[in-house]
Amino acid sequence: MLKLSKYFKSFMIATLIAIAFLFIQAMCDLKLPDYMSDIVNIGIQSNGLEQVAPKAISENGFECMKKFMAEDEIQYIQERYIKGSREEEAKYIEEYPAVKTFNIYALKNDLTEEEINKLSQIFAVSSKTMINVISKISEGTENVTEASQETENIDLSQVYQMLPILDNIPEEMINQARNEARKTPESMLNSVGLVFTQSFYEEIGIDVSKMQNQFIVQTGLKMLGICVIGIIASISVGFLGSRIGAGIGRNIRNDVFQKVQSFSSAEFNNFSAASLITRTTNDITQIQNFIVMMIRMLAYAPIMGIGSLIMMSQKTTELIWTIALACGLIILLIAFLFKMVLPKIKIVQKLTDKINLVAKENLSGLMVVRAFGTQKYEENRFDEVNSQVMKTNKFINRSMSMMMPSMMFIMNGLNLLILWFGADAIANASIQVGDLMAVMQYGIEVVMSFLFVSMIFVMFPRASVSANRIAEVLETESTIEDPDNPEKFDENKRGYVEFKNVTFQYPGADEKILENINFVAKPGQTTAIIGATGSGKTTIVNLIPRLFDTTEGEVLVNGVNVKNMTQMELHKQIGFVPQKGNLLSGTIESNLKYGNEDASQELIEKCALVAQATEFIESKEEAYEAPISQGAKNVSGGQKQRLSIARALVKNSPIYVFDDSFSALDFKTDSNLRKALKEHSKDSTLIIVAQRVSTIMHAEQIIVLNEGKIAGIGTHEELLKNCSTYYEIASSQLSEEELENGRK
């Protein structure tokens, strides 16, 4: 996985922006439960009152409360309330209609939050003090008991009536009541204080239920706004994530493709074509999806989880252990599944390769399969892999599907735990109901994000298997590399191909395919290579364009060792016609222009003529525009050979190599082609590998190969005389008369 991390570099900025958006999204998501808790705590439970300290209070109420406060407290609140007299009523009348009938005290506007909290606390304590005092002195009197009991709605006029009685109460009693009040838990104090505040508001004519509605609507609108911001952030993250994923996918795919292009035959032996296909498509798609997931969810999870924990601990720290427990259970569950499933996932990837391989073999060997009637065999072979894939996938998916129900169960269980122990905490008045609800939500968030983080461990192995398979391709260095300082061609030896003491064996093989090969092919001459099957003919010509490197000795083209020039430069010198004339999908013209894009129509037609291809090309309706299907299955073997010969000729290079390229042609076409070729490329070096003596008997130089060694070099006539191997080949193919002619 790390091996591919460099691909992230070019998307660094986009990733950073995406993460910034994630933070915005997290902040929005985290703020929502907070507001919901406000709606429950303040909007519903406290009738929309945000603070105990009243914004305005009647003079009577103010005086009344003062009676239950300590000296310093009175001082403190008096400094922070302004007396609004009846004369200034115009200023307040809209907000507090009752100002017409009596004086009010209004809270100053420029107070800090700390001051307001202090004020609220003073009011709450004095409210509780009042209740304590009243319940003490009312132990005897019947009607007052009611007033103190029904704290939900206090009749202030009753309280004011009692004021004169209070004047007679000893100071001590009030102080004692206040000390008791201060011991009351804060959330209780708060609730009691709010009941009074509500009554004070009602007294001066404020519509409290309207205030409540207003608060709820306002908070709701805030939530909506935050939601919208969150959505925008989330869409942006999705957008950026997809772009990054697709971009990285494209870059990797390009690199893999380029790498594969540079592979020599040795590397292709390591990777099957089917495996390379899976690596460029499935595996890269896998990585691409993983990246998108990682950005959209996995990066989001830790931000959200830590944020939720912080928000939660602001509400209460008592219940954090429940979350730790849930996370612990999830770790256990995932570790268990991980251990079971991981090895199987690796197997599935291999099996997918295998399924591709078997299907591909069936496809490319379609003709053979049908001709030999081995359909059943192929189907059974496929069936075997197919059922293996089914079994393994079943196991993986069944194990994985344990995940969701268990997770749901853990999550629901967490809710139960929070509620059960939260109820306790509420009974002890250490938290409020709304806070408990927020904690439940935060709890779910933490567990969810924990889940997503652990998803990394589930997805990572799959992605990392894919990443490794891609890295394997990217890291395979082609055994054939260009030199750092390419040498210049020897001008006097243009068109020369020389083999000096060349020995070759395939990497890892014991046997030498070629041994001590020496010859020179000169321009204007035809050099032919002939020998039995497996004598090393094709290997010799493959060494010229450096498809392999020699084991010992050197191959020189234009007087320079092929290892000391760039492959680009080398391949420019050679028009190569391989044994299997592979054409690419496209048209005839696009194939002929493959080695020389700028070739004129004239040149193409001339080369086609030399290659004896004109006749069948022009018999096609679209002529040069006729389509070639993939694998060139819509042209015959002979046509394929002639087209690939024409393709090499269009390249117009000084050296032409024909690797058994006339085998599929009939004798007449073969001889016509050779004649035309000799004429067309008078100054070129021609190297022809052949099985048929008739194809090469007019060559200036014939090399006879036998088991990797040169059995003789010379003209047809010379060889007939002094090379027994050549004579054997020739005698099996030529008539008595022809042999005699040659010997003369």
Partner 1 sequence: MGRGPGAGLIEKPKNFKGTLKKLFGYLAKFKIMIAVVIVCAILSTIFNIVGPKILGNITTEIYAGVMRMIAGTGGINFDVIQKTVLILFSIYVISAAFSYIQSFVMVGVGQKFTYSLRKAISEKINKLPIQYFDKKTHGEVLSYITNDVDTIAQNLNQSITQLMTSLTTVIGILIMMLTISWQMALVAVLVLPVSLGLVMLVVSKSQKYFKDQQQYLGHVNRTY
Q: Which is nearer to partner 1, 125 or 544 (CB)?
A: 125
In the complex, minimum distance from the CB of residue 642 to partner 1, in angstroms, rounded to a whole number: 20
Residues 139-158 that bind partner 1 (CB under 8 A): 149-152
Q: Where are the alpha helices (DSSP H) in 482-636?
A: 537-543, 567-573, 588-592, 601-610, 614-619
In the complex, minimum distance from the CB of residue 379 to partner 1, in angstroms, rounded to a whole number: 6
Q: Considering only residues 90, 367, 509, 568, which one is a binding residue for partner 1 as defined by CB under 8 A?
A: 367
Tokens at residue 34, please? 């907070």
Distance (Å, whole) CA 177 – CA 132: 6
Q: Considering only residues 355, 532, 664, 676, which one is a binding residue for partner 1 as defined by CB under 8 A?
A: 355
What is the x/- site pattern for partner 1, positions 279-318, by CB under 8 A? -xxx--x---x--xx-------------------------
In the complex, minimum distance from the CB of residue 437 to partner 1, in angstroms, rounded to a whole number: 7
Segment lying near partner 1 (by CB under 8 A), choices 93-101, 314-322, 420-428, 663-671: 420-428
338 touches partner 1 by CB under 8 A: no
383 touches partner 1 by CB under 8 A: yes
Q: Considering only residues 63, 409, 724, 740, which one is a binding residue for partner 1 as defined by CB under 8 A?
A: 409
Q: Which is nearer to partner 1, 2 or 367 (CB)?
A: 367
Contact 274, 350 (CB under 8 A): no
Segment lying near partner 1 (by CB under 8 A), choices 103-111, 198-206, 359-367, 692-700: 359-367
Q: How many CB atoms lie within 10 A of CB 728?
A: 13
In the complex, minimum distance from the CB of residue 99 to partner 1, in angstroms, rounded to a whole number: 31
Residues 248-267 that bind partner 1 (CB under 8 A): 253, 257, 260
Tokens at residue 16, please? 């950073």
Distance (Å, whole) CA 441 – CA 414: 11
Q: Considering only residues 175, 209, 258, 387, which one is a binding residue for partner 1 as defined by CB under 8 A?
A: 387
423 touches partner 1 by CB under 8 A: yes
Distance (Å, whole) CA 10 – CA 453: 25
Contact 672, 591 (CB under 8 A): no
Q: Which is nearer to partner 1, 102 or 377 (CB)?
A: 377
Q: DSSP characters for 275-343?
A: HHHHIIIIIHHHHHHHHHHIIIIITHHHHHHHHHHHHHHHH-STTHHHHHHHHHHHHHHHHHHHHHHHH
Residues 584-603 that bind partner 1 (CB under 8 A): 585
Scanning the structure block, which residue is given the tokens 């207003």? 214
Q: Which is nearer to partner 1, 458 or 474 (CB)?
A: 458
Burial of 171 (0-12, 13-18, 19+ CB in 10 A): exposed
Burial of 562 (0-12, 13-18, 19+ CB in 10 A): buried
What is the 3 state secondary structure string of 349-368? HHHHHHHHHHHHHHHHCHHH
Q: Which is nearer to partner 1, 524 or 631 (CB)?
A: 631
Q: Nearest 10 degrees: CA dihedral of 683, 689, 692, 698?
A: 20
With both helix axes pointing from N to C terminus, report the angle between 156-167 and 142-149 in degrees, rounded to the nearest 10.
120
Residue partners of 157: CB distance under 8 A and separation at least 6: none
Residues 664-683 that bind partner 1 (CB under 8 A): none
Segment lying near partner 1 (by CB under 8 A), choices 93-101, 308-316, 631-639, 708-716: 631-639
**Count of residues that interact with partner 1, criterion CB under 8 A:** 79
Q: Considering only residues 420, 507, 580, 620, which one is a binding residue for partner 1 as defined by CB under 8 A?
A: 420
Segment lying near partner 1 (by CB under 8 A), choices 48-56, 164-172, 201-209, 406-414: 406-414
In the complex, minimum distance from the CB of residue 196 to partner 1, in angstroms, rounded to a whole number: 12
Tokens at residue 532, please? 């039995």
Distance (Å, whole) CA 671 – CA 332: 78
In the complex, minimum distance from the CB of residue 287 to partner 1, in angstroms, rounded to a whole number: 12
193 touches partner 1 by CB under 8 A: no
Q: Considering only residues 28, 133, 244, 274, which one is a binding residue for partner 1 as defined by CB under 8 A?
A: 274
Residues 75-134 that bind partner 1 (CB under 8 A): none
What is the x/- site pattern for partner 1, positions 542-581, by CB under 8 A? ----------------------------------------
Q: Which is nearer to partner 1, 13 or 371 (CB)?
A: 371
Closest by CA to 145, choosing from 127, 126, 160, 158, is 158
474 touches partner 1 by CB under 8 A: no
Strands (E), 434-561: 497-504, 514-521, 526-531, 552-557, 560-561
Helix (H, G, I), strand (E, B) or coil at 346: helix
User: What end-to-end distance do the CA atoms of the chain give, in Å?
Assistant: 72
Residues 428-447 that bind partner 1 (CB under 8 A): 429, 432-433, 436-437
Q: Which is nearer to partner 1, 163 or 273 (CB)?
A: 273
Q: Nearest 10 degrees: CA dihedral of 698, 700, 701, 704?
A: 0
CA atoms within 13 A on the CB side of 126: 25
Residue partners of 28: CB distance under 8 A and separation at least 6: 226, 227, 229, 230, 233
Q: Which is nearer to partner 1, 280 or 681 (CB)?
A: 280
Scanning the structure block, which residue is given the tokens 């074509």? 273
Contact 718, 743 (CB under 8 A): no
What is the x/- site pattern for partner 1, positions 7-46, by CB under 8 A? --------------------------------------x-
Tokens at residue 660, please? 């058994």
In the complex, minimum distance from the CB of residue 473 to partner 1, in angstroms, rounded to a whole number: 12
382 touches partner 1 by CB under 8 A: yes
Q: Considering only residues 359, 532, 547, 623, which one is a binding residue for partner 1 as defined by CB under 8 A?
A: 359
Q: Considering only residues 161, 213, 218, 397, which one is a binding residue for partner 1 as defined by CB under 8 A?
A: 397
What is the x/- site pattern for partner 1, positions 445-464, by CB under 8 A? -------------xx-----
Q: Considering only residues 66, 108, 339, 398, which one is a binding residue for partner 1 as defined by CB under 8 A?
A: 398
Q: Considering only residues 12, 165, 332, 390, which one is a binding residue for partner 1 as defined by CB under 8 A?
A: 390
641, amino acid identity: Q
Helix (H, G, I), strand (E, B) or coil at 586: strand
Sign of CA dihedral 465, 466, 469, 473: negative
Q: Considering only residues 426, 448, 520, 547, which one is a binding residue for partner 1 as defined by CB under 8 A?
A: 426
3 touches partner 1 by CB under 8 A: no
Tokens at residue 513, please? 């395919």
Q: Which is nearer to partner 1, 324 or 402 (CB)?
A: 402
Q: Nearest 10 degrees: CA dihedral of 8, 12, 17, 23?
A: 70
In the complex, minimum distance from the CB of residue 684 to partner 1, in angstroms, rounded to a whole number: 32
Distance (Å, whole) CA 345 – CA 463: 10
Residues 490-509 that bind partner 1 (CB under 8 A): none
Backbone angles phi, psi at 379, to 5 degrees: -65, -40
277 touches partner 1 by CB under 8 A: yes
Q: Which is nearer to partner 1, 277 or 603 (CB)?
A: 277
Tokens at residue 708, please? 């990797």
Cα separations (Å) of 268 from 262, 265, 283? 10, 5, 19
375 touches partner 1 by CB under 8 A: yes
Segment lying near partner 1 (by CB under 8 A), choices 62-70, 331-339, 353-361, 732-740: 353-361
Residues 44-73 that bind partner 1 (CB under 8 A): 45
276 touches partner 1 by CB under 8 A: yes
Contact 673, 594 (CB under 8 A): no
636 touches partner 1 by CB under 8 A: no
Helix (H, G, I), strand (E, B) or coil at 82: strand
